[in-house]
Structure 1
Amino acid sequence: MTMPYLVSFHLGWLVGSVLLGFCMGWISVVQRGNGTSKVTARWLAALAAALVAASFAHVVPGRFGYWLDLGLIMFACYLVGCTIGAWLRDRVVARSMRAG
């Protein structure tokens, strides 16, 4: 399956992923805790890289490969939305702090 097909067929779901990510980025509170350990972060990065590599290499055939591709592109759209939402909220809060 090609990505243009996924994008054209599932455009509504992808836009929904971006909007959900935007909302989560906007309303999320900055965490002041320890967060994720470096070891866990490395394992998660390795897992994400392995999933992307499996998608590009078409290792997973059929329906499960289609779901893998769709899940990865929806997750990427969600992360883009989160980034934009958090960035815009930071800009709005910074502007209101300067004004007040």
Structure 2
Amino acid sequence: MPYLVSFHMGWLIGSLLLGFCMGWISVVQRGNGTSKVTAYWLAALAVALVAASFAHVVPGRFGYWLDLGLVMFACYLVGCTIGAWLRDRVVSRSQPAAAL
């Protein structure tokens, strides 16, 4: 794993920055989101992929891509979280105080 991170540091930072930008933008978007059933299936898929990565079920090049994709996805999600949190802090600060 340290080799994966050190060799692909530029791509991981790019994934983090892309996630930050999307997190910053996504606060403005007010969509319906996904249904609970879809969210459960996506969570199960993510858990299955992480389990396959830890168990080394996928060998060779495809296993390497799986590991890299999961690390990049994790960096993207961290960036999204930070971007959304900072955007919320900036927007909530710029709103006028509520009148009592």
What TM-score comes out, normalization by structure 2 length? 0.90
Q: May I ask how many residue pairs the two structures share in their alignment?
A: 97
How is 1:56-95 mapped onto 2 (pairs within 5 angstroms)?
Answer: 56-95=54-93
Q: State the alpha-carbon separation in 2 of the partners of residues 55 and 81 from structure 1.
A: 22
Note the aligned Cα RMSD (angstroms).
Answer: 2.2
Runs of 4+ residues over 6 Å off in structure 1: none
Report the alpha carbon displacement of residue 30 of structure 1 after superposing the two structures with TM. 4.3
Q: Classify 1:87/1:29 alpha carbon distance in 2 versus 1 (closer, same or farther; 3 Å).
A: closer
- 1:34 is displaced (CA, Å) by 2.9
Post-superposition CA distance 1:18-65 (Å, at most 9, x none): 001001111224444432111111000000000000000000000000
Matches of 1:37 and 1:31 in 2, distance apart?
A: 17
Identity %: 91
Judge which range, 30-39 or 58-67, deviates more: 30-39
For structure 2, the residue ranges without an aligned partner over 5 or more in a row are none
Distance in 2, matches of 1:90 and 1:78, equals 18
1:28 to 10, 15, 26: 26
TM-score (norm 1): 0.90
